[in-house]
Structure 1
Amino acid sequence: MTDVEHLLGQLSLEEKVSLLAGQDFWSLPAIERIGLRSLVMSDGPIGVRGVGWAPDDPSIALPSPTALAAAWDVELADRAGQLLGQESRRKGVHVLLGPTVNLQRTPLGGRHFECYSEDPLLSGEIAVGFVRGVQRHGVGTTVKHLVGNDFETDRMEVDVRIGERALREIYLAPFERVAESGGWGVMSAYNSVNGQSMAQNGPIQDEILKREWGFDGVVVSDWRAARDTVGAALGGLDIAMPALESPWGEKLVSAVRAGEVPEEVIDDKVRRVLLLAQRVGVLDGGPAVTVPEDLDGNAIAREVASRSFVLVRNENYTLPLEPAALTKVAVIGALATDARVLGGGSAQVSPPYVISPLAGLEQALSGVDVEFTIGADPRPFLPAAHGPGWTPAKVTMGGHSFEVEPAAVRWIGSLPGGLDPAGVDEILLETTFTPAEGGEHTFAVSGFGTFELSVAGTKAYAGTLHPPTATRADLLLSPREQRVHVRLDAGEAVPVVLRQTIARGMAHTVSTTLGHRGPGPDEEGMIAEAVRLAGESDVAVVVVGTTEQTESEGFDRTTLALPGRQDELVSRVAAANPRTVVVVNAGSPVLMPWAEEVAATVLTWFGGQEAGAALAEVLLGVTEPGGRLPTTWPRREEDCPVLAVVPSDGVVAYGEGVFVGYRGWLRSGVAPLYAFGHGLGYTSWRYDELTVNETEAVVTITNTGARAGREVVQLYIGSSPVDPERPERWLAGFENVEAHPEETVTVRIPLPPRTFEVWADGGWVRRTGEYRVIAAHALDDPRLTATLEV
């Protein structure tokens, strides 16, 4: 084992400080004379992007974190983490920036697809499994964003006011769980908490995280969140990222020499960085990293997807479908072919392939007539050109070429082919299109920069999509689109060339899409066509969901309603075919005014690269939809106990205290559309027995159905009588159960001391008295109740 103290003694002040800030966008510097190599970080958490976003180096794309939480399975989270640890090693990454354990306080949060749940226990346990899996490969994690980064509006500057009890019992709880389980890193948030910026929030980062919890890992800033040299140094931050506009470097050296920052504070930070370097294998003399056996990433992506899908409605046993009884299936919706498989923002990667719902069903129903129509298109931008008639797009820049399909390129950081950004001032995208249908075709350019588009040798567009004053955030999170119309003849191949001009040195950030839509009916005509097709089919599968412009990092949602005319589409299709199955492709809750009109509804979150294959298996009963809701889904926006995300005078006050998520729903007495923990399967369960003591609950259940299946046994606890200062009941534990028909199984669910404690008078206080212990299928579906005197 390397003697960290010995190494520390060999470093000058300048060298120490150099290890506490990025040398570029993603890495820390090396100091070769002490055997320290550069430590590389990368965005996650559904894939490993690497130091760029290079489409010629694809990344396995798992389902969204809300999907992983919906499986309610710590071991599955562990396997997902192992896969991403494996991917990190493959891409030369030592620290994965994730997971995100901020809570879904209000369903309007734009980044909630990247967060696990509205419940701190579920979030913490899934995060522990994920972190354990990643770190098994000797790859670090940074659980984020500490703390109160539960919405996107003004997230860089907003001051979140959280009472001490809610802070401890709700918002810090998942971070505490990961810290105590051995996580190696934490990322601090942009926002302030109770008047103090998180990047320099000593009471939380230093006093609570490091001293009280005994956390020995590193605290890294969110990118450009550290703004004050002395404040960040004294406030518990260890690494300020990236190099761009860093407040440290020479400024921190000067602050130490001026006596504003004690050198022992710097030494503590460097010790933590060297320990991390030792753990991830970039410091000579550290323990060897034992890499587990290779995992099949595609198989895990499919398993996580199917296990996460939540069947919230299944009238008259519509699902699973019986393929032998089907002759014609209608597949409807723009997202059936252009599925959202991952969320927008820093969680994006370039997957090697994507199986759409339509492709998955076509492959699984090879002997059935599967017909598709759009019905209603909610996408404000045209989809990237791909599919029948299109050749893969050849991308050329700086003498390096590669192919992409669909016709879109995007990266942050390193360029494909290892090109120097300073030497790239142009990107050329070339493809050939052979239309199956003649008439007016619509082409589009979206992204940022100056473009020239030619179709069939004729210039169709030339111009700049963003003004010179656009910020980096504007470019990444608010792309613009320009459409043009070109008449083409059926069967005649035409070249399509998109040339993008980039300012010198700016090629490290690129986002460009060539969009296309063929001739077709107007909006009303598309819905009418869907209704006609549904009426002619044995079953109609309608895929609806959000778009990147309505649910993404960088902004919050303004409404929970599905964009466009998708709600109307569902209602009209359901009226035409009573066997209508709706697939909701959204990362977090949406309104479903048609919920009682359809035969079945499946929530698929952002399902990752295997989404369509997993969906086909679930709809056809090859696998059971194993998910349970990690969030409450409202019937109406106004029913939500907490909704607003807009700051008032720069402040968002968490005035509801501990009554977050289902805790608030229980206090309001309003029934949601679908409660926390809800989810149906393809078999039935009898809860036979519940026994409980102060350390564990023992639950025995029997599979009373005709199929093997999986049940998530959920344990809720509440004081008796109900204490008005505490939720009516709260999640105390859970366990997955698998059983064959007529098989009886028993599970033991631990009850740690914190189950019966509240934060009061500056510490954890055990509340004695009588408690109700409830074994449940869901929050609103209790099966067995016992009492416990504590």
Structure 2
Amino acid sequence: MGFTNAEFNGCNGKSGGVPRLGFPGYCLNNAENGVGGAEGVNAYPAALHVGASWNRELAYARGMHMGREFRRKGVNMALGPSIGPLGRSPKGGRCRNWEAPSNDPYLTGMLIHDTTAGMQKYVIANIKHIVGNEQEASRKYPRFLPAPNHNASISSNIDDKTMHELYLWPFMDALRAGGASVMCSYNRVNNSDACQNSKVLNGLLKQELGFQGFVVSDWFMQQSGVASALAGLDMVMPIAPYWADGNLTQMVNNGSVSMTRLNDMVTRILAPWYKIGSQSEEDGRPPGHGIPASLVQPHEFVDARSPDSKPVILQSAIEGHVLVKNVNKALPLRKPKFISIFGYDAAGQFMNTAEAAGFNLWKMGMRNALQFQNGTTFTAAALDLLFGSSLEQTTTGPEIALNGTLFTGGGSGAVVGSIDAPLDAFKRQAYDDGTYLAWDIQTPNPTVNAGSEACLVFINALGSESWDRRNLSDAYSDGIITSVASQCNNTMVVIHSVGVRLVDEWFDHPNITAVILGHLPGQDSGRALVELMYGRQSFSGRLPYTVAKQEADYGHVLDPVQPSDKTPYYPQVNFTEGVYIDYKHFIKEGIEPRFAFGYGLTYTDFEYSNLQIDVDANATSLRLPPNPEHILQGGIDSLWDEVARVRCTIENIGDVAAKEVAQLYIGIPGGPEKVLRGFEKQLLVPGERGVFEFGLTRRDLSTWNVMEQSWELQRGDYGVFVGKSVLDVPLTGRFEIGDVTQCYLASNRTLGEDAFASQGTTQNFQGQQGYLGGAISIVAWCRGVGRALLPARQARRRQRKAYRHSVPTTQFHLFPSNFAYRTRTTANKLAYDYQLCPPASSPSDQSHFDILSLVPHALLAKHHQPIMSDYVNEFDLTDFMDTPPTSPGFEQPTTSECLDQIDWENPNYKDLASVDWNALHEEIIGVVLGEPADEQLQPDDR
């Protein structure tokens, strides 16, 4: 296994080649914010920074330019982008670290989809890590490496619903974009190692999500030979102790692993190279030719950078900054005469040569942190366990990086020869403006010159793979801020951080006028900040996570779980919070955050108006996704069918051009009050109005049904919230998906107007049929759609009649005109074909209601639009129902009670005034039952 050519030694991972097939082997390399371990490349803003930009176009462009640099370096497989850890715990080293865009699955999914699509124009992307690696504590050591203990890795115990709706969700988007490889994680999932968990790899990933590529292990994490092969592991990195030296061949020869499975591995590994990776060898050079084994030894310099990547890097850096405080328009700065700069994060690294203090200082991120704030040296010994292993559970890393500005995170960041640090950029701006610039970046309690018009304080918060964060703030940095603020009445704070950083210690200080969360902006850190703080561009970043007022507000997920007395060797973490992490947790528990998810200020104001909601009544009438056998990468193809669309108008009512990020949240029946389901970012000049649109797919409106093992549209009232953050939503509305109808309300409508909206649009209704359908929908709606029929027949009548209690309605053209229910023997097949009930059981109550719901609109079409009468068919429903649905305590209102709620004074209803509703209802019953409407059922039939 591995290359024989020494040129390949710089690759993080290597695979063997097959010369007769022209396959040279894989060179795998880290890819968190650029090509890892190489010079001549750019250091891009981190994924977290892209998450704060809420900009899908930038995510794609960043991925594409990164991918091109990999290709030019001879890397044909990039180890990124990262989805998991998603970010369950705010203290998680990688979890709420810099490697993924957000702890919201929708935002992460959208941005990783575009990043993957961009990268794979040039290089194979590796989507990682599946799944549940939500803390670094108790991360397992490889069995064959020295370790302080041999405990099993922490088990992330995740229920099926939470797995699908939270942790698996963004993987669906990455695979939908064509992700060609996936990395399994260090942890166990429900007590089975993730890299040999058949449910995860074979069941969820390859079967349910239709993954066609290959699964590679995280470094050194193959745990067995036969079991891992059968569980779905295809490639092992960096070495394969259980498969090498003929072991895998022997497994196949003795029948432990089938030849079919071996061929499956080979096909999955080779196919992505022929589709994507082979482009890397178009110049005939071998993989990894630009990744030297040592940067400090003589080697060929391969410059992979391109001039057209510079605008993307800068704009990505700009848009990931989030302005969270700006008192009395302290920003933007307007050619001040005197500025003072403080804080250890302002300048670039003070040394970037090799082998300083026992390790390579030019490697950024965690290796950039020389000391704890109390002066304790962070030595190379602590780094021995960084990659492919774990720290002891009591070990924590430094909280801040004192060796210059933090522009990337710890673990596997890109190498860069120089960065534009904030202090450098402000020196240039001061030179241009004639501003006097003073700075003291080392003193914990600096003296502030009384003539300072503005005082800028730079701090950071560090995190890394291999350890979890101890705190979400630190006293050393807070002390610098409060010291400066006590002397300067225009103090501005800039925080570069890997995620959540609490600010309540000083945020309300009257002398602190502006606060910027700068995240990890990459090599253009200073240049981007000057562009923003001097007003050449307005801030447009929004928080991709929630900032609490105190640590305890995050609840029991705050601290990573440690082994207990009950589980000292097999540590367990139970995800009992379900999907309620971050903002969903805060809303559920009624906790007011310091900064809400999606929050961010600009230099202007925006006004929201004209909310419109369109629902496709046909698409939403099926409870489960149609054509379940049609699975593409990412899952059932119909899950991505658009079933609704939301629009609104936003106007820039200020005097500065700025980008607004409009956010759509949906309240799904039975779920969290709000979940992010759309966002759009537009630049608006003063006075300009823009139309923002959000398409909603079937998946967006569905929840995971554990019993049916399928995504399911919920029946009931869906809330619609459009605004500037999860808590600032100036536009609200709703729509209803009933068992057989859709009613929705986008403004102040009457009950009757709301029902009229069931014809598939929110306005411009035409024709009498639309009004009648709307009125009938009112009847169905207030009569309790989900309880439509209560068939409790005596045995002698059960084969011939169905008891009527009330009748639901729907769009009549749901099924083809030749659809007719025939005999009970076809019940399962028809119900399965139309996804009305699970195939392994008899037709559910839900299918009864859906099939019967064809009749009312068909009847209306027969009476009021003869051209549609072809849709009225012979329905033989006599053999349909076996057992009655139960409805304890449910009381149906009468038709008259429902009709009393209609606003008959509304001129739109003038054509309905003469309708004999009771007679029409009786006629509908007659059509449904296939018997005279006046045939009354006896009490004992109920």
TM-score (norm 1): 0.73
> Which residue of the partner structure matches residue 553 of structure 1?
465
Matched, 1:327 2:337: yes
Matched, 1:568 2:479: yes
> Which residue of the partner structure matches residue 222 of structure 1?
218
Identity of aligned residues (%): 32
Greater relative contact order (CA < 8 Å, ≥ 6 in sequence): 1
> Which residue of the partner structure matches residue 931 of structure 2?
none
SS of equivalent residue, structure 2 residue 67: helix
Matched, 1:589 2:500: yes
SS of equivalent residue, structure 1 residue 204: helix
- Choose which of 119, 133, 136 in structure 1 pairs with 2:121: 136
Gaps of 5+ in 2: 3-8, 141-152, 285-303, 348-403, 616-643, 738-942
Letter in 1 for 2:311: A
The C-alpha deviation readout for 1:361-399, integer Å capped at 9, x for no partner, is 1112211111110255xxxxxxxxxxxxxxxxxxxxxxx
Classify 1:26/1:246 alpha carbon distance in 2 versus 1 (closer, same or farther; 3 Å).
farther
> Which residue of the partner structure matches residue 120 of structure 1?
105
Classify 1:241/1:110 alpha carbon distance in 2 versus 1 (closer, same or farther; 3 Å).
same
- Choose which of 73, 89, 95 in structure 2 pairs with 1:91: 73
> Which residue of the partner structure matches residue 748 of structure 1?
693
The C-alpha deviation readout for 1:267-311, integer Å capped at 9, x for no partner, is 01101111011023439999x9xxx99553333222111110000
- Choose which of 398, 410, 427 in structure 2 pairs with 1:362: 427
**Paired residues for 1:250-261 under 5 Å:** 250-261=246-257
> Which residue of the partner structure matches residue 715 of structure 1?
664
In structure 2, distance between residues paired with 1:569 and 1:45: 31
CA contact (8 A) 1:357 1:615 kept: yes
Matched, 1:602 2:516: yes
The C-alpha deviation readout for 1:617-662, integer Å capped at 9, x for no partner, is 1111112222100011111001113212123421111110111111
SS of equivalent residue, structure 1 residue 264: helix
The C-alpha deviation readout for 1:93-112, integer Å capped at 9, x for no partner, is 11111111121111101121
The C-alpha deviation readout for 1:290-347, integer Å capped at 9, x for no partner, is xx99553333222111110000111111111111xx111011001101101111112x
**Paired residues for 1:496-575 under 5 Å:** 526-527=444-445, 530-533=446-449, 535-547=450-462, 551-562=463-474, 564-575=475-486
Matched, 1:627 2:576: no
> Which residue of the partner structure matches residue 46 of structure 1?
33
In structure 2, distance between residues paired with 1:636 and 1:300: 36
Matched, 1:696 2:640: no
In structure 2, distance between residues paired with 1:532 and 1:242: 53
The C-alpha deviation readout for 1:594-623, integer Å capped at 9, x for no partner, is 111210101111221110111111111112
CA contact (8 A) 2:11 2:28 kept: no
- Choose which of 31, 42, 50 in structure 2 pairs with 1:68: 50
In structure 2, distance between residues paired with 1:361 and 1:233: 56
- Choose which of 714, 726, 729 in structure 2 pairs with 1:767: 714
In structure 1, distance between residues paired with 2:22 and 2:469: 48
> CA shift at 1:181, angstroms?
2.4
CA contact (8 A) 2:657 2:683 kept: yes
> CA shift at 1:703, angstroms?
0.6
> Which residue of the partner structure matches residue 628 of structure 2?
none
The C-alpha deviation readout for 1:65-123, integer Å capped at 9, x for no partner, is 11011111111100000110111012111111111112111110112111211100000
> Which residue of the partner structure matches residue 106 of structure 1?
89
- Choose which of 343, 358, 364 in structure 1 pairs with 2:409: 343
Number of corresponding residues? 600
Letter in 2 for 1:663: K
In structure 2, distance between residues paired with 1:601 and 1:314: 7
In structure 1, distance between residues paired with 2:194 and 2:63: 27
**Paired residues for 1:352-751 under 5 Å:** 352-366=417-431, 367-374=434-441, 376=443, 526-527=444-445, 530-533=446-449, 535-547=450-462, 551-562=463-474, 564-592=475-503, 593-597=505-509, 598-641=512-555, 642-648=557-563, 649=567, 650-694=571-615, 695-719=644-668, 725-751=670-696
> CA shift at 1:210, angstroms?
1.1
In structure 1, distance between residues paired with 2:191 and 2:581: 22
SS of equivalent residue, structure 1 residue 751: strand
In structure 2, distance between residues paired with 1:578 and 1:244: 61
Matched, 1:310 2:322: yes
In structure 2, distance between residues paired with 1:182 and 1:293: 25
In structure 1, distance between residues paired with 2:245 and 2:178: 30
CA contact (8 A) 2:75 2:280 kept: no
More helix by share: 2
> Which residue of the partner structure matches residue 414 of structure 1?
none
In structure 2, distance between residues paired with 1:316 and 1:251: 70
> Which residue of the partner structure matches residue 175 of structure 2?
179
In structure 2, distance between residues paired with 1:365 and 1:780: 39
The C-alpha deviation readout for 1:35-66, integer Å capped at 9, x for no partner, is 211221110120112xxx25xx2431111211
In structure 1, distance between residues paired with 2:698 and 2:161: 17
Letter in 2 for 1:772: G
Letter in 2 for 1:699: C
Letter in 1 for 2:596: A
SS of equivalent residue, structure 1 residue 216: coil
Letter in 2 for 1:256: V
> Which residue of the partner structure matches residue 159 of structure 1?
155
Classify 1:83/1:308 alpha carbon distance in 2 versus 1 (closer, same or farther; 3 Å).
same
Letter in 1 for 2:688: E
CA contact (8 A) 2:198 2:230 kept: yes
Gaps of 5+ in 1: 1-13, 16-21, 377-525
The C-alpha deviation readout for 1:117-137, integer Å capped at 9, x for no partner, is 110000000001100110112
Letter in 2 for 1:578: N
Q: RMSD between aligned alpha carbons? A: 2.3
The C-alpha deviation readout for 1:402-431, integer Å capped at 9, x for no partner, is xxxxxxxxxxxxxxxxxxxxxxxxxxxxxx
> CA shift at 1:580, angstroms?
0.8
More strand by share: 1
Classify 1:248/1:626 alpha carbon distance in 2 versus 1 (closer, same or farther; 3 Å).
farther
In structure 2, distance between residues paired with 1:620 and 1:558: 35
Classify 1:711/1:638 alpha carbon distance in 2 versus 1 (closer, same or farther; 3 Å).
same
CA contact (8 A) 1:24 1:242 kept: no
Letter in 2 for 1:569: I
In structure 1, distance between residues paired with 2:281 and 2:497: 47
SS of equivalent residue, structure 2 residue 272: helix
In structure 2, distance between residues paired with 1:279 and 1:541: 50
In structure 2, distance between residues paired with 1:24 and 1:90: 14
Classify 1:202/1:281 alpha carbon distance in 2 versus 1 (closer, same or farther; 3 Å).
same
In structure 2, distance between residues paired with 1:264 and 1:23: 34
